């Protein structure tokens, strides 16, 4: 299965999780590629059966501007991704009332593009650490199990 791990980050934390996921997937027999959405055309993701899409949450529950731009570009291109499965992970700070909502918002942006959305959305609090990486790896395994 061809897998993309995409990320949109302002502080670098989402990139850390995405990089760890790519390493984990590739070390466990999968073919995963890393994409920074700031340099990615939405049509590039159509080449993949599964996209793990990570984004940081901006302010109190908004998409970060990079993710907003990515989805705006996809919308302008009338992007259709009906043959692609998406699983979303979002980073945030649980001290905010709308904690790590970028994953949910991103999934809502994919719906009209006919992407196949897999649940659950993974929410990550604060700076990534070994426990975070373990949690994201287990989540990725559960997503892959859904596709079998």
Structure token pair of residue 63:
């998409």
How much is the pLDDT for 119? 94
- The pairing of beta strand 62-63 with beta strand 50-58: antiparallel
* Dihedral of alpha carbons 73, 96, 11, 120, sign: negative
How much is the pLDDT for 60? 83
How much is the pLDDT for 77? 85
Going by pLDDT thresholds of 50, 70 and 90, the confidence category of residue 49 is very high
- Is residue 76 scored above 90 in pLDDT? no
> Under DSSP, is residue 56 helix (H, G, I), strand (E, B) or coil?
strand
The number of residues in the chain equals 148
CA distance linking residue 137 with residue 143, whole number of Å: 10
pTM of the predicted protein model: 0.95
CA distance linking residue 70 with residue 83, whole number of Å: 19
How much is the pLDDT for 115? 92
Q: Which CATH class is domain 2-146?
A: alpha beta
Average pLDDT score over residue span 44-65: 93
Per residue in 95-123, pLDDT (tens digit) is 999 999 999 999 999 999 999 999 999 99
């Amino acid at each position: 299965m061809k897998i993309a791990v995409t990320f949109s980050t302002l502080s670098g934390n989402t990139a850390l999780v995405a990089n760890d996921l790519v390493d984990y997937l590739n070390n466990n027999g999968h073919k995963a590629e890393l994409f920074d959405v700031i340099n990615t055309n939405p049509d590039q993701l159509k080449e993949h059966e599964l996209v793990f899409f990570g984004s940081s949450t901006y302010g109190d529950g908004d998409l970060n501007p990079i993710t907003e731009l990515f989805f705006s570009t996809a919308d302008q291109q009338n992007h259709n991704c009906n043959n692609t499965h998406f699983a979303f992970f979002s980073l945030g700070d649980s001290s905010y009332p709308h904690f790590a909502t970028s994953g949910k918002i991103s999934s809502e942006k994919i719906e009209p593009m006919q992407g196949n959305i897999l649940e659950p959305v993974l929410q990550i609090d604060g700076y990534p650490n070994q426990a975070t990486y373990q949690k994201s790896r287990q989540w990725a395994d559960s997503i892959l199990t859904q596709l079998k």
